[in-house]
Amino acid sequence: MPPHDIPSTAPTDPSAWAATSVLAEDEPLLAQALVSELARAWPGLRLVARAEDGPSAVEQALAHLPDVLFLDIRMPGCSGLEAAQAVVEDWPADRALPLIVFVTAYDQYALQAFEAAAVDYVLKPVAPARLAATCDRLRTVLRGRAPGPGGTAVTAAAHAGDPLLERLRALLGPAGMATMPPAPAPETLQVIAASSAGGAVVEIVPVQDVVYFEAADKYVRVLTAHAEHLIRTSLRELLPRLDPQRFWQVHRGTVVQVQAVERALRDEAGRVQLVLRQRPERLSVSRLYAARFKGM
């Protein structure tokens, strides 16, 4: 959507400190209310794009590389948390990560969890005083970002300890699920009924034989040492049923059995790839999960 909602002129007061933003909100009236309040709270903030669903939010963020992202928690396509994960994973290595503000209608218990994870939020409907405080915090953080040596941008390796990554790990990991209504723990999978041979055959695959799982459209590929199978489910549905001590998520579309990893290789830019014991391909590890392999 064209960036016409927030004035690009920069008044002389302190709140006019310039920055760019992308806003993702699927409810037009709430989006317009947030845009209007942002124009008052932060005149120097330039809205470069708006999105109405999760995938579009990721696309716009990676196209414009804004300083700040405002992400609705519940959007069509994918949640704000998932959109944030996708943005961080594909963000250019030579650019400082964006600051992320979640827009939420969750109750007070959930808001306390967001605060504990040190991720800022805006509660629907927009409260001007709360939004002003959020803008003050964002300006302070952005002003405090020092350039690298010689004025160069932050490297991917430097991102490894970025507080944003720690916040997202907390929200996307088991501890972060405290923000959601409690649900019965699913039974850990021991075997998988998977299709092969064009779907004509269903094979029973012991989970302990799986080297890694990979998302593929509406399916998940199940890779063992010598075969490939398909299961008609999503990685999001599958992950809670896997033993977290044995299977680690290393990318938003990849879960690997830790014992199947022979070594982790890190290049000069800080990107990590996994060498597997029983398969020839290498698996890329997103920066969100790279810290898991620091000691390997």
Q: What is the pLDDT of residues 117-132, one digit of tens each?
A: 546 788 888 889 999 9
The predicted structure's pLDDT at residue 176? 43
Cβ 134 vs Cβ 140: under 8 Å:
no
The answer to whether residues 102 and 120 touch, using CB atoms and an 8 Å cutoff, is yes
User: Can you give the residue ranges of every domain in the chain?
Assistant: 14-179, 191-293
Structure tokens at 282: 């290498």
Counting as low any pLDDT under 50, the low residues of the chain are: 1-12, 118, 148-158, 160, 174-183
* Fold exhibited by the domain 191-293: OB fold (Dihydrolipoamide Acetyltransferase, E2P) (2.40.50)
Strand ranges across the sheet with 254-257:
201-206, 191-196, 228-231, 219-224, 210-216, 254-257, 247-251
Homologous superfamily (CATH) of 14-179 is Response regulator (3.40.50.2300)
Q: How far is CA 170 from the centre of its chain?
A: 11
Question: pLDDT at position 167, please?
Answer: 66
What does the block give as tokens for 266? 């890190």
What pLDDT is recorded for position 67?
A: 94
CA distance linking residue 173 with residue 286, whole number of Å: 15
Is 229 within 8 Å of 197 (Cβ atoms)? no
Establish how many alpha carbons lie within 13 A of residue 140's alpha carbon, considering only the half-sphere containing its beta carbon.
6
